[in-house]
Structure 1
Amino acid sequence: MYVNADLSRRAVVTPDDHHWVASPQPGVERMMLERFGAEQARATSIVRYAPASHFPLHRHPGGEEILVLAGVFSEASAHYPAGWYLRSPPGSSHRPSSVGGAVIFVKLRHMKASEQESVRIDTNHAAHWREIAGGAICTLYSDDAERVAMLRMNGRVSLPYGRPAELLVLDGALRVDGHDYAAGSWMRFPEGDHAEIQAGATGATLYIRTHAPDAGAAA
């Protein structure tokens, strides 16, 4: 299955486009944002766990990145409410579940094979944020190929040096090239796309990922 698989083109998915599909596990549904292959594929999705649902223990050969959007997401005895960022390196394994239900943003199989760091960040904690011009930033991950952050903005933002970038509007609204996008909108920009990005009247909170041109195509 291929969804928004042409990395040379801008891709946009708004809440009006959300179409939930069942996963192999009962009680777990996915809204596919981008996908490059069958069930075991590099993919970006929003995943919804019904109360008392789970996935059996499984490995992630290409790593997994999660941002908890709503509810409480669990791994064994560790419980992560909305706002937690989880990054598990290639070869890691877990048994994810949710007692009361959860919605998470998930990226699969996009990490370098050499990545070994496991990251757990509570973005609700003020200590993880620093003030910048026009807002505040919470750095989630950074290396020579990839930078991931949450950004609170009340003005304009430029994509760094025209690098490929990905955004998820978490709160507020965003205006991109004159079009308004509500919370839940996801966008992917190809290399060299100099989009004009501005927060809405009440500001915006974003997940933002930028990466080297070849890093986005890693499987």
Structure 2
Amino acid sequence: MSRSFKPVLEKTQKTSVNVNFLKRLIIFPDAATWTPSPQKGVERLTLDLFGDERVKTTYFARFAPGSALPRHVHDGGEEIFVMEGGFQDENGSHGAGEYLRDPRGSTHTPTSAEGCLLFVKLGCFAPGDEERVKIDSASGEWRKAPEGFAIQPLHHFAGVTTFLVRLDPGAILTRMIHPHGEEAVVLAGACKDDEGSYAKGSWIRDPGGHPQSLISPGGCTLFVKTGHIAAAAAEAAQPVAG
């Protein structure tokens, strides 16, 4: 593994990005600056990053057709949702709509013949969470609710839940955001709430504990993760040893 690739992974890292987890944060990828990686054709948009001995980070990764990353290890585990296109590694081919969890210590060599857009979280696995997960959400089971939305569960461990939400056109989802916070990515369509409008690709991180009415005039699908922001806030606030 090349030295220049290490900052992308979970090695010692003093830099922090968007670590005020007590504040609601919205990032629109079309309006943000993407950073090229040392590997030609691969770009990254960091959403948050913190940690010392083991980095925890959330980002979008964009692979041009034919691009690849060298083999690397994920000391703290890796969580991926394939938003567009697809990639290949030692575990097979992973197309749009696939959800992956590779536990701590896992390695792979991702390549993308067609190009892809990924939502990635590194270093997010709790102790004891060692199961490898691979779910094709395109063929997954949706649990419908009479209010005009449906949920597809993806993962749950130690109070942290990951799932997809699909809102029908015109649906209004009124709820209390998880008291320990949530983050969401708009995978398809668009939605809005009292604080703004969110097109496809938008990333929302909310500290939680307040009511929200989410409206989707044309319908939308969201990737949602709840119950983890409060712990991240506490960890990010710890002084860095050095």
Provide the TM-score with structure 1 as the length reference.
0.90
Q: Give the match for residue 46 of structure 2.
A: 32
SS of equivalent residue, structure 1 residue 128: coil
Specify every segment of 5 or more residues in structure 2 that has no aligned partner in the other structure, as ranges: 1-14, 237-242
Which residue of 1 is the match for residue 8 of structure 2? Answer: none
Report the Cα distance in structure 2 between the residues aligned to 1:57 and 1:157, rounded to whole angstroms: 44
Q: CA deviation at 1:37?
A: 5.2
Corresponding residue number in structure 1 for 2:173: 156
- State the one-letter code of the partner of 2:220: A
Deviation at 1:26, TM superposition (A): 2.0
Q: Which residue of 2 aligns with 1:166?
A: 183
Structure 2 residue aligned with 1:64, among 74, 78, 81?
78
Runs of 4+ in 1 over 2 A off after TM superposition: 15-18, 157-163, 212-219
Cα distance in 2 for residues equivalent to 1:159 and 1:108: 27
Aligned-residue offset at 1:159: 4.1
Query: Contact 2:181–2:230 at 8 Å: present in 1 too?
Result: no
Partner of 1:200: 216
Map of 2:202 onto structure 1: 185
Instruction: Specify the alignment match of 1:41 in structure 2.
Output: 55
- Segments of 5+ residues of structure 1 without an aligned counterpart are none
Residues 12 and 66 of structure 1: CA distance in aligned 2, closer, same or farther (over 3 Å): same
* C-alpha contact (below 8 Å) 2:21/2:229 kept by paired residues: no
**Counterpart among 125, 141, 145 of residue 128 in structure 1:** 141
Q: Which moved more, 1:159-168 or 1:142-151?
A: 159-168
Q: CA deviation at 1:206?
A: 0.3
For the 8 Å contact 1:167–1:186, the answer to whether it is kept is: yes
Identity %: 38
TM-score, length-scaled by structure 2: 0.82
Q: Which of these two proteins has the greater Rg computed from alpha carbons?
A: 2
Deviates more, 1:95-104 or 1:17-26: 17-26
